[in-house]
Chains A and B, each alone.
Chain A
Amino acid sequence: AQRVTQPEKLLSVFKGAPVELKCNYSYSGSPELFWYVQYSRQRLQLLLRHISRESIKGFTADLNKGETSFHLKKPFAQEEDSAMYYCALLYGGATNKLIFGTGTLLAVQP
C-alpha cells in the first residue's frame, strides 16, 4: 500500500540557516509527489510538485527514486517560511487521490 512518511513533527532553525524537510514514500507505481504548505490562518496550498522541477519561494525538492525520497530544501530560511509542510503522493490513477504525510512544522527563529 502507498505511504508517505515525514519523520520530523517539528523543525526549528534560525533565520538564514539551511532547511531540509524530509519525506519518504512507498508506492508501487510511478510516483507523483507534492509539497503542500499551510501558513498560519491560511488554507492548505500547493508549494511545489516534482514534475515541475521548479524553485518556489527558494524551495526545491528532488525526487530520488532509489531512496524513495522527496526532501524539501531551502538554502537560507526566512521567518516567513514558518508554516506546516505536508508531503503528498498522488495515487489512484485518474481519480487524483492524495495521501499525505503527517506534516512538519517549520519554525524559523529570528
Chain B
Amino acid sequence: SAVISQKPSRDICQRGTSLTIQCQVDSQVTMMFWYRQQPGQSLTLIATANQGSEATYESGFVIDKFPISRPNLTFSTLTVSNMSPEDSSIYLCSFSGGNTEAFFGQGTRLTVV
C-alpha cells in the first residue's frame, strides 16, 4: 500500500502567525483529505483537497483560515493562518485507497502560544 509522509510532526507557534503542513504520498492518489483533532475530540474533516481545482471545505471551515494546495496527485499542503490558541490541535492528512480504506499521515501536533 502507498506510504504517506506528513511534516512537521509537531510545532509550537506564536499567535498571529501561520504554519504550513505538508503531506507527501509515494503514489498518485485522486483524493486527499485534511482532518483536525482537537484535544479530547474526534477527527473532524476540514476539507477535501482536489488536484487542479480549489479544495472543498466542510461546514465551519473556510479557505481564508485553512488554505490548501494540491499541485499534483502526490502532494498537498494545509496552512493554518493567523493562528490563535484555539487552533491548537492535531492535524492529519489522509487519502482514500481504491477500496475505500483511508490511510493517514502521522499527524502534526500544533501548539499555539
Contacts and interface: CB of A to CB of B under 8 A. Distances in A.
30 contacts: A34-B101, A34-B102, A43-B104, A43-B105, A43-B106, A44-B43, A44-B92, A44-B104, A45-B103, A45-B104, A46-B102, A49-B100, A49-B101, A86-B43, A88-B102, A95-B31, A95-B48, A96-B96, A96-B102, A97-B33, A97-B45, A97-B48, A98-B33, A98-B43, A98-B45, A99-B45, A100-B42, A100-B44, A101-B42, A103-B42
Interface of A: 32, 34, 36, 43-46, 49, 86, 88, 90, 95-103
B43 A100 contact: yes
A11 to B, nearest CB: 16
B53 interface: no
Interface of B: 31, 33, 41-45, 48, 56, 92, 96, 100-107
A46 B100 CA distance: 10
A32 B42 contact: no
A96 B42 contact: no
A104 B58 CA distance: 25
A87 to B, nearest CB: 10
A90 B44 CA distance: 13
B31 A96 contact: yes
Nearest to B101: A46
Contacts of B31: 95-96
A83 B102 CA distance: 18
Contacts of B44: 100
Nearest to B104: A44
B43 A90 contact: no
Given A95-B31, A102-B41, A43 B96 contact: no
Nearest to B50: A95
Contacts of B107: 43
A49 B105 CA distance: 20
Contacts of A96: 31, 96, 100, 102
B100 A90 contact: yes
B44 to A, nearest CB: 8
Contacts of A90: 100
